[in-house]
Structure 1
Amino acid sequence: MGPCGSLLGDGAPGHYFSVAYAREDPARAPALTLAEPPFTVEYWFRLAGAQQRTFVGTREGEAQGWRLGVSAAGVSGAVFGGFDHLVTTPLRDDAWHHVAWTYDGRESVLFVDGRVVGRELYRVEVRPSARPIVLAGLHAGADTRGAPGQLDEVRVSRGARYRGPFAPPRRHAVDGETLALWHFDPRAPSRDASALAHPGRIVGPLLSRDDAAPFCERG
């Protein structure tokens, strides 16, 4: 078994991981727009300081799309044009944490390390975005800004995987509900392990590193 990896954002402008799924790849468009809740977005992350953050989602500042982010302000799940569900919680301790967000068209639930940290009612439509999904960056306006933080095991699923407390899996698995899954392992860091195999593209020196040993699949 080769080394495992993770996506390390350096915060530089234009450095990010991009997933084309709409205009550039119409056949896969319906899957990651998440326009038909329920859905779940989750990943592992590590923040070393107050300036670090991680984001997974579509373009900010438009009335369509979605985003799950973690920063010094806390954890946020957003349906653009509908709501931004923010929960303040300190997570910049340079340790790995798991974040998950479920939305079923009525209720938004945020989890950290398998624990419910926020639950709010929002009845809104998830309008599909034609923009690519960006990981380790924040797509806003004409620019995509890099996000200086580390993330791994990004999984997007149909259905609300979690309703209450759970034990976060160290390495996410593919099943019939998986819409996308990135392990960021060095031999194929941009590979989507799901059956949909969404094409990913690393822009800038976002190197997959071998220091994410907890997420290795042991052979």
Structure 2
Amino acid sequence: MDFLFNFNILFYLFAYLAGSIPFGLLLANIFAGVNIKESGSRSIGATNVLRVVKETNPSLAKKLSIATVILDAFKGAIVLLIAMAMDASASTLWAIAVLSVLGHCYSVFLSLEGGKGVATGLGVFLVLIPIPTLIGAILWFVFGKILKISSLSSLLGLTGVVIAAIILNNGLDVGSNAPMYIIAFIIYYKHLPNIIRLIKGEEKRVI
């Protein structure tokens, strides 16, 4: 049982459990009295919070959506910041990042269902590769304003993070970009239904 008290194992469990907290679902339920798992896209992310809550309380919808983004990003970043303060290795930090995103996308509290990982990915990337992430965030904001399609702007922003990290040679200090690619793959994979709708021209705009 000693492995349960291993420094890395404890952080990995903490990262996955923190990532699993469905803040969007909780906020919408507590403050708007709606279950976003039963409405809209049924995702627990900020876009679905905005879309579903807006139907009954437009003035509250944007506030809850912003709060969801912040909390989903924070839950990924906080474990990393604690681990960094305790001098965790780069490989441990990247494993924490991957598990945080996995927790959000496959939450233990939602029978391994969850969100699409964008905000949680933003949080962990911001801590580990801040400059490429800021570039990606700018792209996300610009594309979001122009295209008004949340999924597409999110994927373009994510692509911007990955490309910027490669071009700037923003090293991950683990000898490989694999952890970054794994996080990107998880987020792309969770967006497959959106990608299919985009190809068909059926993806909804955020108004």
TM-score (norm 1): 0.31
| Structure possessing the higher radius of gyration over alpha carbons | 2
TM-score (norm 2): 0.32
- Larger RCO, structures 1/2 (Cα 8 Å, 6+ apart): 1
- Would you tell me which structure has more helix in proportion to its own residues? 2
- Would you tell me which structure has more strand in proportion to its own residues? 1
